Amino acid sequence: MERRILGDTGISVSELALGTMMFGSWGNPDRQEARTVIGMALDAGINLVDTADIYGEGGTEEIVGEALKGRRDDVVLATKFHGPMGPDPNHRGNSRRWIMRAVEESLRRLGTDHIDLYQVHGVDPDTDIDETLSALSDLVRAGKVRAIGTSNFPADQLVEARWTAERRGHVHFRSEQPAYSILSRSVEMHVLPTAQRHGMGVLAWGPLSAGWLSDRDATPGKGRTVLEPQRFDPTVPANAAKARAVSRLRALAAEAGMPLTRLALGFVQAHPAVTSVIIGPRTVDQLNGLLAGAGTVLDDEILDRIDEIVPPGSDLNPADNHAVRRLLADTARRRRPGPRGTARKAAHR
């Protein structure tokens, strides 16, 4: 499997990375099968394993740690912090207080003394980026973390973090992990060019767009259709548009002599900013199907036809833009407070 250097870190990573969100209570609860999938991925040449503390409420990190026993030195291990790890509001976010606790808990669950890539799993509007970078820099200097990165950061936040790191003498972010697929291309506008300009590696997640670009249809009432119904409800016009696009993409893949999943992976791999594409199999069969997409090169004709189906820089369903959706979820952050501290109601016209 082809290797690439992650940004300016000097760390060599495989063109496909193993995402582990589907191992544990969020996906496949069979821990033995999950460990088998991880071992098979490593045997196939994947050397980057990506997880997060929030996956399975910590259970996924434990599974990863068990699977990597005896193989830890051969793996670039990445995890993330930021999401809520319990009801206490101090057990989440990007504050120094939480980072210092979160990293120790991740190290314990993963059964390791260091994390190769420690990523901020989202923007925290309540915490100064200077505080976050200061804490992460201390972890790098202490040897507990080798490099730091971001996930789901908009371009302006990447630039602000770079500016802050340079002026305050902090370690800077070396990678960004955005959602990127044929159906969700808005990161092409600003995020990917910004990462390229600043020498950041890009670990693209969601290349199959939550199953829309897989070789099977989503099962109603299960998995993501329950967790994120706004992305699957067929009565939503944006989802109807996705269904029409997927139909045309299936036809294009068949014409090119490849399964839709391979077309989807080849598309993401084609972008010059992308270092590695994160695949997220739940079972051994799914892993085998995805591994076939390694090394896929789409010619200009196919890429041009994909552009005709889904215009560059566009999201067919805005709800698929994970970063923007999270930032706009709290209405208080975009409405001037009223006289009693509540958001003003829109005036009737």
Which residues are the active-site residues? 55
Q: Are 46 and 12 in contact (CB under 8 A)?
A: no
Q: Give the list of residues 6+ apart from residue 171 with CB closer than 8 angstroms, or none.
A: 133, 136, 137, 140, 141, 148, 165
**Degrees, nearest 5: CA angle 209-280-190:** 50
The greatest distance separating any two alpha carbons of the chain, rounded to the nearest whole angstrom, comes to 67
CA distance 17 to 3: 11
Q: Are 310 and 252 in contact (CB under 8 A)?
A: no
Q: Is 90 exposed, middle or buried (0-12, 13-18, 19+ CB in 10 A)?
A: exposed
**Degrees, nearest 5: CA angle 208-191-186:** 50
Q: Give the list of residues 6+ apart from residue 187 with CB closer than 8 angstroms, or none.
A: 178, 179, 180
Q: Residue 320's closest CA among 120, 186, 132, 134?
A: 186
CA distance 9 to 314: 31
Beta-bridge mates of residue 5: 12
